[in-house]
Structure 1
């Protein structure tokens, strides 16, 4: 989890004026339409249509990628999957992955990308793997302490639990898959101007269409710029993002695609985290202080981080017959990160702290090849749906040749002073610190015995090779090789078509942890561990409502920072509970999305000081709700409200400190109408309406401020 550079840039005055003009124009426009249709669907439409007061099926994702299982109906997949569409992302004016899954009770925010190192989520108490848990179009990408742009994606999918069979090794928290927007059959153009308090302005354009006549090329282009003062005093962000998607039918049954994204993101006034003194070895007996205002400055205005993404994937799909196809894909992803952020080390219980600033440059390179056959056939009355393939991927991690640190000063978090900027240049030299290669063969079969009963069997065999190196030396310092088998199995029963009952088992090999930069054994890496998940579930999908209920248990190797500030691997953590979520339309005016989770997470077979203690970062209870009301008397007006409750969480593995439970409430509205012959939508939202002060915690030792009251506004014009 590294950090950043900064450059303060004035807010875009032209954006402010254009937003003002569009808002002032609204009362003079005839109210003919409601919410603008999401262009992701335009590939299947002859034209982009505006539909009045749409129901919840707007937000429903019928299919999702499941890695080695291929693309499947969410209803018929025997694992928990949450897929959030671009419509919901845009209507909630989501800024980061925390906002995307804000209505999911199984997802807990870890930190904010405007305040901390990046946004991040835990799924059923388990954080998503930063280097193995992120995919773009099903292929691996690194995301170490950064935020993916949201504009280029039509859908963001979350597979809850271990994804070892589906995707290869990774932490059992889940897999996030970002699905690229695809070309539209008809010309499509939309412009969005947005504002986020205290002074961030955003401009975005989305273009789609075809060119080239018969066998034409399809294209989709997204551009975004974000700049201004963030919700934290002294904070600033500057972000530029772009994406390009191309498709071409080489032959009637041979299809080529290309997807790419670029992003450069600078955040200043952000910090690595607030760390209790004993968790850094600087003091003892320091407790979690009272929560700070979310907009209070904790770090210095000149601290922060800068990240860049370069991702491209391409592939071809061959429709061999109506029942069989073959695809081959290649992906290259590169992320760089400049650290210039601080660890705020609390040294007493009055708020005293030392500001320890870290500087460094790191690079992460990912490559992946994957080939996959899928098809269907029957043997008598039994149906077979099979997928088999091969995959190769390599991750190279380049760490700072010199990771610099400096004490900026001492102060009190309740009255943070300004320190002198030492203006030290970052040494951008790096060395190859770790190289991990996976070679996999996988196969799965869904056997359908009758319309009611089916079974899923899958197996991945993997050659795993993890090599670490010391700075300045090409000689392998340590090597771990293993050839595990990661199976999955499920039994599925459908008493009626819209209802699926299932029992599933999956296991996963996860990369061993790496000691954080603040530990005594900083950057020490550990051997991989095996995680296992058992899940019993029920899914429904009716015309006006859908629901998912899962009883789950995950056993995972325990890795934590002990009381001597040494990162260790010892024991096991067991996560078990109930995860219930639903989405429904009430009458024709109401849409509800939300649910509840109960989680019992504890350490087992561990060292005496942590055995039997609650797992860190895992709330016992969480509840989430998002509601929309389409006002029938005013066509195009939709009101919305949301709420989240998160129970208390242990900060450390030994439970010596907890953060308190918290709840937040959101309000908003959108109004869709027409500007001449074009659809236009205005959105306004206020998050954390009561300005609740609360802590977030992550990784077993870090505290971050919760997001304060935040105003969001935007206007989207579709041509």
Structure 2
């Protein structure tokens, strides 16, 4: 059983974190002032992260204060303090050449690492990319990643899969913590990076609230940079939506140790999809502190979303029904009475303290409160070849409350010629989902949508939200990265012991129906070898866990519990940094994941099947020539149902896993026309199947976009003004997307749409 978290518990958590922050800051400052000798070595700028081992930096932090007292007129101010490269507080790693992709990302408990040093497949997409493509959602950004398949357009949530496995929006991480980000579309304008770890991640991130296993999406908040920023962007989207975004940040203090960053956005109007309108507002405040031995950050977010006319969601097919073809990409089968309204408050605090020159303790705490009221079709099913759609209309309140906490210690030391980077961490994620729903069936048509009477679904009649799912996931993890030969050979080994407690309740009753309390230890190993300085060969073995609910009523083994099932990944790859201007990666992986179903012969329920996804991914990014920036990727995927206990499906292609997918995007600065950039993009996705029998094939598609921007100086201030324009689906292709899992299914593709924006810098 899971202990329900109360307001008192939250208060204790917050008080403990606050006490830890205050005491470590006080202790760190006292130690710095009382014990460190007055050395005169300057620390580098924080943006220029040093790879020098921490133990060789003794005295670096004492420089600024000892020199500050003796500064004479005209002498330069001391620069920022050096911080560990793995720090998750002092800003993300610098962008790679071209500015679209980060040079490093968070890798869970390992902290920030260079993308060329980690033995895992990772990518970090920057705020510059988000702004240049005028993205509104995570899907707009991640459709450029070859491992990610993107689903529904113009919905209230991002539908994703990673390496062919569904990724639940509840499992998106915020600054390294699960369970904190809202389970809908994310206002990407508020974030500095959108990071992706491709493949299972149990050792690195722990257990996500709803058990997504194909990878991790991590959102990195914006913090103040050394240079002040003041920016306003106005945007227009077809066919009648306008918006404004504000980004303001600055650092304060003699050594710029205090920072504040505020972002806000508002948009309202109608979109390119028929009968789609949206009002969205969001604000974020990021505070951070960079001291000699202590670093801390606090990020708060509030989102509001109102879609008064419903939204496009996915649809399914009855067996024997053909996949619809020629569906207009502006069609919307949402009924006129559908709507979605939600408020989200969420945040995360992090603190790091260097208790010794080679030892850093860290802690983080985050939480989320999500409250929504909605009436929509949670399931749309095409029931005949004429396109008739049966719509399972659902309405009522929906609430999610989560807390997430992490504490740990990192240390660096040598044993003879071997360098060690050791991390030990403890984590706790608590997830509480509640709802109260009323139901009804409506009819529509995928080709010719029409209004259907409300089948008696009433939000008011649903009553207060009752418990639905509670999860408490606690874990202990340890990892050591051993390196020799000046880090040319590095081995990462580790394990996480995970306990998962889950309670499930009857819908609209709040009565406990089943409970699970299981634990498992998951090992992982990764190796990175640099035969030459700019080439990294890597391999890894890592797992993911999924908690299986007890066998349901009506099965032969009703009530039987199961230990978490294990998804296993084996991966090898090559990463090359070409002259610091172009990066390429290639990865080959093999992932096996148990499938849960009821045996048709003996009616026994459990993890009886196995899906195996094997693939090859290639990415290229950077600025290979001056004024030419490229971001492209391609993947081949073979997803198979290896074991199903059904001869009609065993060995068939896994549903919703395309044969291939990828994108090619190029930004070209036009010679002879300073400030003008043209940005074409092609997105292509191969065939996939909706059903496990492989009779309902969703065809391949290619979509072309075209963007352009012009940058010029403000005649009064000299600051840059940037005008951007973009056309999505330039040729108006009608296509369908297909994504697996809960919330997934077939979606109508994006219609032709255009957007224009102007960014003013002050």
Tell me if both proteins adopt one fold, taking TM over 0.5 as the criterion.
Answer: yes
Return the alpha-carbon distance in structure 2 between the equivalents of residues 261 and 644 of structure 1: 32
Aligned to 1:458: 494
Shift of 1:43: 12
Return the alpha-carbon distance in structure 1 between the equivalents of residues 610 and 279 of structure 2: 41
Is the contact between residue 180 and residue 366 of structure 2 (CA under 8 Å) also seen in structure 1? no
Return the alpha-carbon distance in structure 1 between the equivalents of residues 662 and 134 of structure 2: 21
Is the contact between residue 143 and residue 335 of structure 1 (CA under 8 Å) also seen in structure 2? no
- Pick aligned residue for 1:640 from 676, 679, 702: 679
Shift of 1:143: 6.1
- Pick aligned residue for 1:266 from 297, 306, 324: 306
Q: Which has the larger displacement, 423-432 or 91-100?
A: 423-432
Number of positions where the alignment pairs a residue of Structure 1 with one of Structure 2: 653
1:225-304 superposed matches below 5 A: 225-249=266-290, 252-267=292-307, 268-278=309-319, 285-304=320-339
Under a length normalisation based on structure 1, what TM-score does the superposition of the two structures give? 0.85
What secondary structure sits across from 1:59 in the alignment? Answer: coil
Aligned to 2:84: none
Return the alpha-carbon distance in structure 1 between the equivalents of residues 332 and 673 of structure 2: 42
What secondary structure sits across from 1:88 in the alignment? Answer: helix
Q: Residues 456, 109 of structure 1: CA spacing in aligned structure 2 closer, same or farther, 3 A cutoff? A: same
Q: Residues 252, 454 of structure 1: CA spacing in aligned structure 2 closer, same or farther, 3 A cutoff? A: closer
Aligned to 1:510: 546
Aligned to 1:128: 167
- Pick aligned residue for 1:687 from 728, 732, 737: 728
Aligned to 1:100: 141
Shift of 1:383: 0.7
Q: Residues 168, 290 of structure 1: CA spacing in aligned structure 2 closer, same or farther, 3 A cutoff? A: same
Shift of 1:178: 0.2
Return the alpha-carbon distance in structure 2 between the equivalents of residues 538 and 583 of structure 1: 14
Shift of 1:534: 0.3
Residue 467, structure 1, aligned to residue 503, structure 2: yes
- Pick aligned residue for 1:118 from 138, 157, 165: 157
Shift of 1:186: 3.8
Residue 58, structure 1, aligned to residue 99, structure 2: yes
- Pick aligned residue for 1:587 from 578, 601, 625: 625
What secondary structure sits across from 1:484 in the alignment? Answer: strand
Q: Residues 567, 351 of structure 1: CA spacing in aligned structure 2 closer, same or farther, 3 A cutoff? A: farther
Return the alpha-carbon distance in structure 1 between the equivalents of residues 705 and 327 of structure 2: 20
- Pick aligned residue for 1:492 from 515, 520, 528: 528
Is the contact between residue 140 and residue 366 of structure 1 (CA under 8 Å) also seen in structure 2? no
Residue 531, structure 1, aligned to residue 564, structure 2: no
Is the contact between residue 683 and residue 713 of structure 1 (CA under 8 Å) also seen in structure 2? yes
Return the alpha-carbon distance in structure 1 between the equivalents of residues 252 and 550 of structure 2: 49
Aligned to 1:481: 517
Return the alpha-carbon distance in structure 2 between the equivalents of residues 271 and 513 of structure 1: 30
Aligned to 1:25: none
User: Could you list the per-position Cα deviations for residues 369-412 of structure 1 after superposition, in whole angstroms to 9, with x for gaps in the alignment?
Assistant: 11121121111211111111111121112132xx211234x343
Residue ranges of structure 1 left out of the alignment (5+ in a row): 1-39, 48-53, 279-284, 516-523
Residue 332, structure 1, aligned to residue 367, structure 2: yes
Shift of 1:314: 1.3
Residue ranges of structure 2 left out of the alignment (5+ in a row): 1-45, 51-77, 81-94, 552-559
Aligned to 1:425: 459
Q: Residues 366, 579 of structure 1: CA spacing in aligned structure 2 closer, same or farther, 3 A cutoff? A: same
Is the contact between residue 108 and residue 123 of structure 1 (CA under 8 Å) also seen in structure 2? yes
Shift of 1:234: 0.8
RMSD: 3.0
What secondary structure sits across from 1:58 in the alignment? Answer: coil
Query: Which structure would you say has the larger RCO, counting Cα contacts within 8 Å and 6 or more residues apart?
Result: 1
What secondary structure sits across from 2:151 in the alignment? Answer: strand
Aligned to 1:201: 242
Aligned to 1:151: 189
Q: Residues 307, 291 of structure 1: CA spacing in aligned structure 2 closer, same or farther, 3 A cutoff? A: farther
Shift of 1:277: 3.2
Shift of 1:532: 0.4
Shift of 1:449: 2.4
Aligned to 2:427: 391
Residue 621, structure 1, aligned to residue 660, structure 2: yes
After TM superposition, which residue ranges in structure 1, 4 or more long, deviate above 6 angstroms? Answer: 40-47, 212-215, 472-475, 524-527, 560-564
User: Could you list the per-position Cα deviations for residues 507-531 of structure 1 after superposition, in whole angstroms to 9, with x for gaps in the alignment?
Assistant: 111234799xxxxxxxx99874210
Is the contact between residue 430 and residue 473 of structure 2 (CA under 8 Å) also seen in structure 1? yes
Return the alpha-carbon distance in structure 2 between the equivalents of residues 525 and 462 of structure 1: 17
Is the contact between residue 558 and residue 603 of structure 1 (CA under 8 Å) also seen in structure 2? no
Residue 191, structure 1, aligned to residue 228, structure 2: no
Q: Residues 438, 213 of structure 1: CA spacing in aligned structure 2 closer, same or farther, 3 A cutoff? A: same
